Structure 1
Amino acid sequence: MKTSALIDDGPGAPARPSNTPYSYSVREVSKIFSGRNGQVDALRDVSFDFDEGSFTCIVGPSGCGKSTLLRILGGLETATYGSVDIRLPESRVPQSAFVFQEHGVFPWFDVIENVAFGQRMAGVGKREREETASRWISEVGLSGFEHAYPHQLSGGMRQRIAIARAFATGSPALLMDEPLGALDAQTRMLMQEQLVRLWEVERKTVVLVTHSIEEALLLGDRIIVMSARPGRIKEVIDVPFGRPRDVSIEGTVQFAEMRQSIWESLRDEVRASMRFS
């Protein structure tokens, strides 16, 4: 597996590519939840740099803290210990935009109002935000549905609204939590290719959580493999496939070998996580 020149940032911090600015620097982050049944260690001593303009995928067993880490990056959760240094361009829009597995579109808004919502919250004028929304509606293949309501659309179309809304915010970073996980297999493949194409044009910093090894290999520049709870970084893998990229790489011997290697790294972690279920 291909590796790049690395810098050692000191004890407890993994090496990162040299001469590359980063958007997020995570240092020894731990997260502990307290509840009726005591404390739950969700994350322990997680350190990593998410480089500017990179596409990072996080894989790991259920309950390993993947989504918690994403929420900490986006400011929806606070770390119990450790630090997150965020270095994103200053702008009038939020520094990061979320896309969740449950698309989260507003049922009382039509498509264009949903896609324009982030810019509306940022105080962007109606004409400008609708022009931007119309562009992203076209980019995700929903032209002609601008004034349709979510209940009139399929699940795949609603998920495209959520992705268009995230890109339309203008945020320099996108944080995606299983954004394609609820889609059928055929729609998911089309959306994976579409997401690759949009990212290759925009080059935002993307951190995407997925259970799919194949999806991580197709989309990511790097894959973070996490252990069973409490989630730690078990392995960081550089993805060697060039860009532009499409699903045809899944038919290559190298893809099959990497998928098997990642699964072997994950197998024991998945077994361990099942003991907590």
Structure 2
Amino acid sequence: MPAPPPAVVAENVSKVFFSRTGDPVWALEDISLTLEPGSFTCIVGPSGCGKSTFLRILGGLEERTSGEVTMGDAGHAIPTAFVFQEHGVFPWMTVLDNVAFGLRMASVGRREREDTARDWLARVRLSDFAGSYPHQLSGGMRQRVAIARAFATGSPVLLMDEPLGALDAQTRMLMQEELISLWEAERKTVLMVTHDIDESIVLGDRVIVMSARPGRLREDIAVPFPRPRSVDIERSGEFGELRARIWELLRDDAQRGEDAA
């Protein structure tokens, strides 16, 4: 059988903003990236390098200045689901309604969307909180709601912008393992921005290293650890070597950014 088409193709994507004085500021320059169906790819890079801008362009939340983006077969648009750092859950909705929200926007019937939402709440161990409101949950629980909502949409592509960045270290490690488990069961195509090198290695099949602004693709690194995977790989010497390699790529750009601040 022929290989399935790529889930996402970005070709020479660039983005320019204009300062208050009208001067152009290039956020991204000629980024090309192909994501295969069912892959998990992480992007790391210095602060302000355009990682989040690139993610928003892929998801249709930001206009590109030049280049092409193809989502799905033969250019047919496919829906994407987002998970943001601040969980993005609606404070006025119950947990159940939050998870069902994407299905509601897709005009899925009430019975079906609630059944789907309850299934995903069970999978993230929040069934007992279906009638609760976000302010009644911990930060980790709210992020599980956001992740469940993204998966529940049925979208084949999930775009995640530092989804675990606001969590404490212990909760973050637990959420990494939970996210790995959900992704391995569903095999969605995931593109995730993170500032955490260790997290990018634990979660990703690939780590895309971006340069300082204007953001360019500096290196595309294959992660060698087999699936299924857990955070235990962090104890291996190979993990330490890969972390050091990625840090070397980032350090000079990060230092230049500090000097320019």
Q: TM-score, normalised by structure 1?
A: 0.90
State how far apart, in whole Å, the 2-side matches of 1:259 and 1:82 are: 31
State how far apart, in whole Å, the 2-side matches of 1:88 and 1:175 are: 18
User: Does the 8 A contact of 1:115 with 1:133 survive in 2?
Assistant: yes
State how far apart, in whole Å, the 2-side matches of 1:101 and 1:177 are: 6
* Pairing partner for 2:91 from 107, 125, 129: 107
Aligned residues: 259
* Letter paired with 1:220: G
State how far apart, in whole Å, the 2-side matches of 1:241 and 1:68 are: 29
State how far apart, in whole Å, the 2-side matches of 1:90 and 1:123 are: 24
Answering whether residue 228 of structure 2 is matched by residue 244 of structure 1, we say yes
User: Does the 8 A contact of 2:5 with 2:73 survive in 1?
Assistant: no
Structure 1, unpaired ranges of 5+ = 1-17
Give the corresponding residue for 2:26. Answer: 41
Give the corresponding residue for 1:184. Answer: 168
State how far apart, in whole Å, the 2-side matches of 1:133 and 1:59 are: 32
Shift of 1:39: 2.1
Alignment of 1:116-127 (within 5 A): 116-127=100-111
Give the corresponding residue for 1:140. Answer: 124
Give the corresponding residue for 2:52. Answer: 67
State how far apart, in whole Å, the 1-side matches of 2:78 and 2:176 are: 25
User: Does the 8 A contact of 2:72 with 2:78 survive in 1?
Assistant: no
State how far apart, in whole Å, the 2-side matches of 1:89 and 1:216 are: 30
Give the corresponding residue for 1:160. Answer: 144
State how far apart, in whole Å, the 2-side matches of 1:273 and 1:50 are: 29
177 and 137 in structure 1: CA distance in 2 versus 1, 3 angstrom threshold: same
Answering whether residue 251 of structure 2 is matched by residue 262 of structure 1, we say no
CA deviations 1:213-242 (Å, max 9, x no partner) are 100000000010000000001100000100
State how far apart, in whole Å, the 2-side matches of 1:74 and 1:111 are: 24
* Letter paired with 1:45: D
* Letter paired with 2:31: V
* Pairing partner for 2:112 from 125, 128, 133: 128
State how far apart, in whole Å, the 2-side matches of 1:219 and 1:206 are: 10
Shift of 1:276: 4.0
State how far apart, in whole Å, the 1-side matches of 2:227 and 2:13 are: 32
Give the corresponding residue for 1:15. Answer: none
State how far apart, in whole Å, the 2-side matches of 1:95 and 1:75 are: 10
Structure 2, unpaired ranges of 5+ = none
Q: TM-score, normalised by structure 2?
A: 0.95
Shift of 1:21: 2.7
41 and 175 in structure 1: CA distance in 2 versus 1, 3 angstrom threshold: same
User: Does the 8 A contact of 1:89 with 1:95 survive in 2?
Assistant: no
Identity %: 63
Over 4 Å off, 4+ runs: 88-91
CA deviations 1:171-200 (Å, max 9, x no partner) are 010000000000000000000000000000
Give the corresponding residue for 1:78. Answer: 63
User: Does the 8 A contact of 2:14 with 2:31 survive in 1?
Assistant: yes
Q: Which moved more, 1:78-87 or 1:211-220?
A: 78-87
Shift of 1:105: 0.6
76 and 230 in structure 1: CA distance in 2 versus 1, 3 angstrom threshold: same
Answering whether residue 82 of structure 2 is matched by residue 98 of structure 1, we say yes
* Letter paired with 1:43: L
Shift of 1:25: 1.1
* Letter paired with 2:164: L
